[in-house]
């Protein structure tokens, strides 16, 4: 996983062509959030998916523009989610949020800029040997999974329903769109880079959907019983913010069981998909299930 | 121009596939701004550019997904620009702005959703006979002209420099990016739909850049000497908001002269580009120069 992470970091370092004139304050705001040191889960999954389909390490390079684009979309969503009108968060990963440092207006523009530029970066895959039709498929899927029926829609549902989520079904529906959709999209994007078959794409998507949901439940669990130092935030913040969580709805033990069963389903899906290798993705699923931050 | 406008309106009516589940409040917020009845200048130019290059009316259909996508991007930019943290406008085109009706959080998400979905809509051109390479070129150009070195960058420059614009050069640089870039992109997108040559694309871009700037100067002029009823807003709003305008910097007469000379340059560019017809675009340039609202 470290090799994939390093590759992602290097790709994210020069996403803006050097000859472009971009206002320096806007650039700083974007870099501040891109360099905040997330887990890089989505790009790592995109690269691992490409390598799993093709069996060749070279496939990583072809998937790299997609991986960077998805991390940019993830980052924009965090910047906008933290805004005062949205979740109104002052801190993320132990650092002041984007609007606390650069002001609300610049944070809105940094998010808009990252989202827009993600499509520029994704389109660069055509220059790395990915057929134009596949690049276009990824553009279309990115805009769907990150868009109105996906991440943006999930965020709207979350906000609209904040007071009244009472069932697992409602909660799961929100997380499926808010979190899992973009993760599922990462895996499909990696698959497209390695010219996966429709069946393989479907298996990768299912893997993504399941570990995306497991990831969210694990987050809820860690908020209750994690280590504050490792998490970089105080425990029980969900409860303080009145958030409805999995442990709140079904209890801690059943939440843990759900993480395990979702992870197992995810692994089963890709084992039956005729990939060249499955160890990369199963390792990532395993690390995610056991993570403590 | 009416035929092109009607075509745009019909394309904008069903931008979201019927089987998609989109939160209804989010959908309403998007429709509210899309249906606010703008001039549809950008999509009209995209359709006219396609028809000018090919000489066939059928080219409009191929350019339609690009035209709709660009109007969606324009609309998102208005929603975000009006936000309290940005220009803090309560009214646009005589109606309350998006965040006044739907709240700030939903307005941010409506903008994010429109921007994301624009790329989905643009990618549909591949199903209308536009080669994948051309669609990809438009995706890449859209994200550049609307993005960090384009519209978003121009908006950031505008905000950062609001207190201290003193020269024509600074003012023009902001408008070139904030307004002209997306207009130039519309013309190139239409050109790509009709498989224009690189020289034709460059001529269309130059046409767009010049009439985009002329459009902005005309706006400044109308704010001083227009008809409040036709404009749907009170006169002298620029001065009240402390905006630096062309008439403020170079006077009313010279501003008018600049509109004329930019329009002439625009028309000259496309007359030398070997297009199948130039009347559509020159007519639009003429109407824009003479407009009173």
pLDDT at B182 > cutoff 90: yes
pLDDT at A38 > cutoff 90: no
Q: Identify the CA nearest to B114 among candidates B65, B177, B70.
A: B70
Alpha helices by DSSP H, listed for B124-197, are 132-145, 151-161, 168-175, 181-193
Q: Note the pLDDT of residue A163.
A: 60
**Nearest CA distance, A90 vs chain B (angstrom):** 16
Q: How confident is the model at residue B226 (pLDDT cuts 50, 70, 90)?
A: confident
Q: What percentage of chain A carries pLDDT values higher than 70?
A: 99
Which of B23, B111, B136 faces A126 most closely, judged by CB atoms? B136
Say yes or no for a CB contact (<8 Å) between B147 and A105. no
Chain B contact probe: residue of A69, A88, A114, A119 with most B CBs at under 10 A: A119
pLDDT in tens, B236-284: 777 777 788 899 999 999 999 999 999 999 999 999 999 999 999 999 9
Beta bridge partner(s), residue A91 = A96
Say yes or no for a CB contact (<8 Å) between A113 and B146. no
Q: Note the pLDDT of residue B1.
A: 72
pLDDT at B79 > cutoff 80: yes
Say yes or no for a CB contact (<8 Å) between A22 and B155. no
User: How far, in Å, CA of B135 to CA of B137, rounded?
Assistant: 5
Report the pLDDT averaged over residues A127-152. 98
A4 close to A287: Cβ distance less than 8 angstroms: no
Q: Note the pLDDT of residue B150.
A: 97
Q: Note the pLDDT of residue A210.
A: 97
Report the pLDDT averaged over residues B19-39. 95
Say yes or no for a CB contact (<8 Å) between A153 and B111. no
State the fold for domain B2-290.
Farnesyl Diphosphate Synthase (1.10.600)
Lowest-pLDDT choice from A261-265, A288-292, B109-113? A288-292
Q: Note the pLDDT of residue B94.
A: 86
pLDDT at A276 > cutoff 90: yes
Q: Note the pLDDT of residue B90.
A: 94
pLDDT in tens, A66-120: 999 999 999 999 999 999 999 999 999 889 999 999 999 999 999 999 999 999 9
Which of A80, A103, A113 faces B152 most closely, judged by CB atoms? A113
**Nearest CA distance, B284 vs chain A (angstrom):** 29
**Domain limits of chain A?**
2-290
Q: Least CA distance to A173: which residue of chain B?
A: B21
* Listed ranges A151-165, B56-70, B223-237; the one with the highest mean pLDDT: B56-70
Q: Note the pLDDT of residue B163.
A: 60
Chain A contact probe: residue of B25, B69, B105 with most A CBs at under 10 A: B105
**Nearest CA distance, B273 vs chain A (angstrom):** 27
Provide, as residue numbers in chain B, all residues whose Cβ is less than 8 Å from the Cβ of A26. Answer: 148, 152-153, 156
Q: Identify the CA nearest to A153 among candidates A113, A180, A135.
A: A180
Within 8 A by CB and 6+ apart from A37, the residues are A93
pLDDT at A15 > cutoff 90: yes
pLDDT at B14 > cutoff 80: yes
Say yes or no for a CB contact (<8 Å) between B156 and A21. no
Which of A108, A112, A113 faces B85 most closely, judged by CB atoms? A108
Which of A30, A126, A140 faces B123 most closely, judged by CB atoms? A140
Q: How confident is the model at residue A289 (pLDDT cuts 50, 70, 90)?
A: confident
Hunting for tokens 């033990």 — which residue is that? A253
Q: Note the pLDDT of residue A111.
A: 98
pLDDT at B232 > cutoff 90: no
Q: Identify the CA nearest to A216 among candidates A288, A135, A141, A139.
A: A288
Chains A, B: CB contacts within 8 A come to 160
B23 close to B67: Cβ distance less than 8 angstroms: no
The two tokens of residue A249 are 């709805």
A166 close to A182: Cβ distance less than 8 angstroms: no
Q: Identify the CA nearest to A69 among candidates A48, A50, A43, A44.
A: A43
pLDDT in tens, A213-259: 999 999 999 988 888 777 777 777 777 777 888 999 999 999 999 99
Within 8 A by CB and 6+ apart from B261, the residues are none
DSSP state of A226: S
Beta bridge partner(s), residue A59 = none
Chain B contact probe: residue of A133, A156, A170 with most B CBs at under 10 A: A156
- The dihedral built from the CA positions of residue A84, A88, A93 and A95, taken in this order, carries a sign that is positive
Residue with the larger pLDDT of the pair A234 and A51: A51
Q: Note the pLDDT of residue A167.
A: 85
* Arithmetic mean of pLDDT over chain B: 94
Q: Note the pLDDT of residue A107.
A: 98
Q: Note the pLDDT of residue B293.
A: 78
Chain A contact probe: residue of B109, B163, B182 with most A CBs at under 10 A: B109
Q: Least CA distance to A135: which residue of chain B?
A: B136
pLDDT at B162 > cutoff 80: no
Say yes or no for a CB contact (<8 Å) between A20 and B132. no
Say yes or no for a CB contact (<8 Å) between B144 and A120. yes
Residue with the larger pLDDT of the pair B223 and B37: B223
């Amino acid at each position: 996983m470290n090799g994939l992470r390093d590759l992602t970091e290097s790709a994210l370092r020069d996403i803006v062509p050097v000859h472009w004139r971009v206002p320096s304050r806007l650039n700083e705001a974007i870099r501040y959030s891109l360099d905040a040191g997330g887990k890089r889960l989505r790009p790592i999954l995109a690269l691992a998916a490409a390598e799993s389909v093709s069996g060749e390490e070279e496939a990583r390079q072809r998937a790299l523009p997609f991986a960077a684009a998805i991390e940019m979309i993830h980052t924009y969503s965090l910047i906008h989610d933290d805004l005062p009108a949205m979740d109104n968060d002052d801190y993320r990963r132990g650092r002041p949020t984007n609007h606390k440092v650069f002001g609300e207006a610049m944070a809105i523009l940094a998010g808009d800029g990252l989202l827009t530029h993600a499509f520029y970066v994704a389109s660069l895959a055509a220059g790395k040997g990915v057929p134009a039709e596949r690049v276009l498929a990824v553009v279309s899927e990115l805009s769907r999974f990150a868009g109105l029926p996906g991440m943006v829609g999930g965020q709207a549902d979350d906000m609209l329903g904040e007071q009244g989520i009472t069932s697992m079904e409602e909660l799961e529906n929100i997380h499926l769109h808010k979190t899992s959709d973009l993760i599922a999209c990462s895996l499909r994007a990696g698959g497209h880079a390695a010219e996966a078959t429709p069946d393989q794409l479907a298996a990768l998507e299912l893997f993504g959907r399941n570990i995306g949901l497991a990831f969210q439940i694990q987050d809820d669990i860690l908020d209750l019983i994690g280590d504050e130092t490792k998490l970089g935030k105080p425990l029980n913040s969900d409860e303080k913010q009145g958030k409805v969580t999995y442990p709140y709805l079904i209890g801690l033990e059943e939440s843990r069981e759900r993480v395990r069963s979702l992870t197992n389903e995810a692994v089963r899906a890709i084992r039956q998909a005729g990939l060249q290798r499955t160890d990369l993705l199963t390792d990532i699923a395993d690390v995610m299930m056991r993570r403590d931050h």
